[in-house]
Chains A and B, each alone.
Chain A
Amino acid sequence: MKPRAIVLTGDGINCGDETLFALQIAGFDPLLTHTSDLLSNPKILKDAKLLALPGGFSFGDEIASGKVLAIKLEAALKDSLKEFVDEGKLVIGICNGFQCLVQMGLLPESEKEGVRLASLARNNGKKFINRWVQLSVDSKVSCPWLEGLTEFDLPIRHGEGRLSPAKDSEEAVKKQAPLRYSLEVNGSFDRISGLTNAKGNVFGLMPHPEAFVRWTQHPSWTRLTSLPDKAPPGLRIFQNAHSMVAN
Chain B
Amino acid sequence: MTQGAKYRENEHVLEISKTATICVAVISEAEHHNSQSFPLYWLLVDKESLTDGKIPSSMQKDISAVLADSLSQEVLACIPEERSKWLERFAKKEYKHFAERQFLPGVTDNLAHTVEEALRLKGLKGIIKVASGRGFLFKEKSGDADAISEMLIYKEYHPLTDRFVVHETSDDGAKLLKFPHVVLPETPRVENVNLELSDANLEALSKERLLALNLDEMKAIRQYYRLDKTKADRKSHGMPEMPTDVELEVLAQTWSEHCKHKIFNAKITHIDNSKPRELRSETITSLYKTYIKAATKKLSQWRKDLLSVFEDNAGVVKWDNETAVCFKVETHNSPSALEPYGGALTGILGVNRDILGTGLGAKPLFNTDIFCFAYPSPSLPQRPKLLPAKAILDGVRKGVEDGGNKSGIPTVNGAIFFDPGYRAKPLVFCGTGGLLPLHIKAGNETRDAVKKHTQAGDLIIMAGGRVGKDGIHGATFSSESLNEGSPMSAVQIGDPFTQKRLLDFVIDARDAGLITGITDNGAGGLSSSVGEMANITGGAIIHLDRVPTKYPGLADWEVVVSESQERMTISTNDFDGIKKLAEKHNVEVSNIGEFTNKGYFEVQNNGKTVALLDLEFLHDGCPILSLESQWSPAQITMKTGKQPEHLGRVLLQLLKHPNICSREPIIRQYDHEVRGQSVIKPMMGPAQKAPCDAAVLLPRLTADLDRAPALAVSNGLCPRLSEHDPYLMAQCAVDEAVRNAVCVGADPDTLSLLDNFCWPDPVYSDSNPQGKRHLAELVRCCQGLYDAVIAYGAPLISGKDSMKNNFDDGALKLAIPPTLLISCMGRVPEARFARSMEFKKAGDLIYILSAGVLGLAASHYEEFNGWQSIMLPELDLDRAPTLYRRLHTAIKSGWIHSAHDISEGGLAACVAESVIGSRNGASLDVGEYHKYLSNLYEERGTQAFKSWDFVTRADALLFGEGPGHIVVSINRDHQSDFERHFEGLTSIKIGEVTAEQQLNIVDSEMKPEEKDLISLSTQAMKTAWETALPFD
Interface of A with B (CB < 8 Å)? 9-15, 17-18, 21-22, 25, 34, 36-37, 55-57, 59-64, 67-68, 71-72, 75, 116, 118-119, 121, 127-132, 155, 157, 164, 166, 208, 210-211, 213-217, 219-220, 222-223, 227
Contacts and interface: CB of A to CB of B under 8 A. Distances in A.
A177 B165 CA distance: 46
A9 B504 contact: yes
Contacts of A130: 667-673
Given A68-B121, A116-B70, A130-B668, A217 B678 contact: yes
Contacts of A129: 668-669
A128 B669 contact: yes
B991 interface: no
Interface in B45-72: 66-67, 69-72
Given A219-B681, A219-B685, A60 B110 contact: yes
Contact of A17 (B67, B69, B405, B701): B701
A18 B676 contact: yes
Contacts of A219: 681, 683-685, 688
Nearest to B132: A62
Contacts of A72: 121
Contacts of B439: none
B118 to A, nearest CB: 4
B705 A216 contact: yes
B381 interface: no
Contacts of A21: 676, 701
B69 A64 contact: yes
B72 A121 contact: yes
Interface stretch (B275-283, B604-612, B735-743, B828-836): B828-836
15 contacts: A15-B675, A21-B701, A60-B111, A60-B497, A62-B110, A64-B69, A119-B72, A121-B72, A129-B668, A130-B667, A214-B705, A214-B706, A219-B684, A219-B688, A220-B688
Contact of B500 (A12, A55, A121, A128): A12
A127 B832 CA distance: 33
Interface string B643-686: 00000000000000000000000011111111111111101111
Contact of B706 (A11, A75, A215): A215
A122 to B, nearest CB: 11
A115 B941 CA distance: 84
A44 to B, nearest CB: 14
Given A25-B703, A56-B674, 8 more contacts: A10-B585, A14-B675, A57-B500, A63-B66, A71-B118, A71-B121, A210-B676, A219-B685
A222 B684 contact: yes
Contacts of B114: 59-60, 62-63, 68
Contacts of A18: 674-677, 701
Contacts of B667: 130
Contacts of A132: 688
A201 B514 CA distance: 40
Contact of B121 (A75, A164, A210): A75
B834 A164 contact: no
A75 B841 CA distance: 57
Contacts of A116: 70-71
Interface in B681-706: 681, 683-686, 688, 701, 703, 705-706
Contact of B673 (A59, A127, A211): A211
Contacts of B688: 131-132, 219-220
A55 B676 CA distance: 11
A133 to B, nearest CB: 10
Interface of B: 66-67, 69-72, 110-111, 114-115, 117-118, 121-123, 401, 405-408, 495-497, 500-501, 504, 583-586, 667-681, 683-686, 688, 701, 703, 705-706, 831-832, 834-836, 840-841
B371 to A, nearest CB: 18
Contact of B674 (A14, A60, A61, A119): A14
Contact of A68 (B118, B670, B831, B836): B118
A211 B676 contact: yes
Contacts of B834: 216, 222
Contacts of B111: 60, 62-63
- For A12, A21, A215, the residue with the greatest tally of chain B CB atoms inside 10 Å of its CB is A12
Q: Which 3 A-B pairs have the closest CB atoms?
A: A14-B408, A18-B676, A60-B497
B501 A227 contact: no
Contact of B118 (A15, A36, A59): A59
B406 A119 contact: no
B679 to A, nearest CB: 5
A152 B681 CA distance: 19
Contact of B668 (A14, A131, A217): A131
Contacts, number: 164
Given A11-B501, A75-B123, A216-B706, A127 B669 contact: yes
Contacts of A215: 706
Contacts of B674: 14-15, 18, 55-56, 157
A219 B689 CA distance: 10
Given A128-B669, A219-B688, A220-B684, A213 B676 contact: yes
A59 B677 CA distance: 24
Contact of B406 (A57, A63, A127, A164): A57
Nearest to B409: A14
A10 B406 CA distance: 13
B117 A68 contact: yes
B676 A59 contact: no
Contacts of B670: 128, 130
Contacts of B840: 222-223
B836 A222 contact: yes
A62 B115 contact: yes
Contacts of A25: 703
Contacts of B676: 15, 17-18, 21-22, 210-211, 213, 217
Contact of B584 (A37, A68, A71, A155): A37
Contacts of B66: 63, 67, 71
Contacts of B706: 214-216, 227
Contacts of B406: 12, 57, 60-61
A208 B408 CA distance: 14
B69 A119 contact: yes
B67 A164 contact: no
A119 B28 CA distance: 14
A47 to B, nearest CB: 21
Nearest to B689: A219
A17 B701 CA distance: 9
A10 B401 contact: no
A34 B668 contact: no
- For B407, B676, B831, the residue with the greatest tally of chain A CB atoms inside 10 Å of its CB is B676
A225 to B, nearest CB: 9
Nearest to A167: B71
Contacts of B681: 219
Contacts of A9: 504
A12 B832 contact: no
B71 A119 contact: yes
